[in-house]
Amino acid sequence: MAKPRPVPNPVGRRLHPAGVRIDRHAHDRAQLTLVLSGISRISDGQGWWLAARDRAIWVPPGLAHEARYSETSEIVVLELDDIAELSAVGCCCIDTTALIRELACAGLEADAATRRLSLQLLGHLLSRQTPDLHAAIRHGSDPRLVRATALLVAEPGREVGLAALAAMAGTSARTLNRLFVDQTGLSFGRWRARLRVLVAIERLAEGESVTSIAFDLGYGGPAAFTTMFTRATGLSPARYLAERLRPAASQATSPAMASAVAASDAKPPRSDVAAITAETSGGPSRKPP
């Protein structure tokens, strides 16, 4: 496999248009991608992770990965010292708190003292977060499982049973189900259900209707799909769209700001953490230019 290419410093607050893809690459330090609006999908060689608004994806140091944005998305990207508790599980999705989001934005401040204190506190809080394993789809490493999962990812709504899928993958139903459990932590049925939920989230972000998604993913209609989606995420599709995929009122980006962020020149709003740093250091923090 070709060595992943290095990339320019990705740190910053960025606005990615819908459809943007970032090729496979790696970083010397750990990377945190915090989603302020939209949706981020990050893939490595063995799976992919999906984060909607107010969630983040952790990528361990040196891990080759690529990214995709199916909707216009505003993100904050930071490079951090490794956090063993997170890197132990590889890539992972993390729920964030208001304080974590504030510290992440403050980690972009021009003032060095603010930046340093913010990132130290952020690292401490992240080390105490429990990764959300429900936001991941793992492909596995066994060639038979990789073939099976690739077939399902290509056609997530296809109604194919375990025995038929196993035959297409060149193995038995019993062996394939064991591979699912051993390498993804999920049975075949649960793995496919999770795949359909994550695919549905991406399609909701793209503006597709619930009815269209329901039938395309193999459900009898919107009611059956809504029941499944609500059970899996805790929110109905309509509420998920409003609360996780659309920008919060406080995070709405003006046209002028959008242009600046897209050019990677925008600075985040001055945060409360800057004021805290000024108080503890005995002097005012320098404002970003």
Q: How far apart are CA 205 and CA 281, in angstroms?
A: 43
Q: Decide yes or no: CATH 2.60.120.280 for domain 12-135.
A: yes
Q: How far apart are CA 46 and CA 261, in angstroms?
A: 32
Token reading at 20: 């943007």
Segment 36-62, tens digit of pLDDT: 999 999 999 889 999 999 999 999 999
Cα–Cα nearest to 269, from 121, 9, 74? 74
Task: Give the pLDDT mean for 213-221.
Answer: 93
Q: Is the pLDDT of residue 235 over 80?
A: yes
Residue-level pLDDT at 10 = 72
Q: Is the pLDDT of residue 253 over 60?
A: no
Higher pLDDT, 3 or 100: 100
Domain boundaries, the chain: 12-135, 139-245
Q: Is the pLDDT of residue 122 over 80?
A: yes
**HEC readout, the chain:** CCCCECCCCCCEEEEECCCEEEEEECCCCEEEEEEEECEEEEEECCEEEEEECCEEEEECCCCCEEEEECCCEEEEEEEECCCHHHHCCCCEEEECCHHHHHHHHHCCCCCHHHHHHHHHHHHHHHCCCCCEHHHEEECCCCHHHHHHHHHHHHCCCCCCCHHHHHHHHCCCHHHHHHHHHHHHCCCHHHHHHHHHHHHHHHHHHCCCCHHHHHHHCCCCCHHHHHHHHHHHHCCCHHHHHHHHHCCCHHHCCCHHHHHHHHCCCCCCCCCHHHHHHHHHHCCCCCCCC
Segment 9-28, tens digit of pLDDT: 578 999 999 999 999 999 99
Sheet holding 92-95, edge to edge: 12-16, 73-80, 30-37, 55-59, 92-95
Note the pTM of the prediction, 2 decimals.
0.78
% of the chain at pLDDT higher than 90: 65
Fold of the domain built from segment(s) 139-245: Arc Repressor Mutant, subunit A (1.10.10)
Amino acid identity, position 288: P
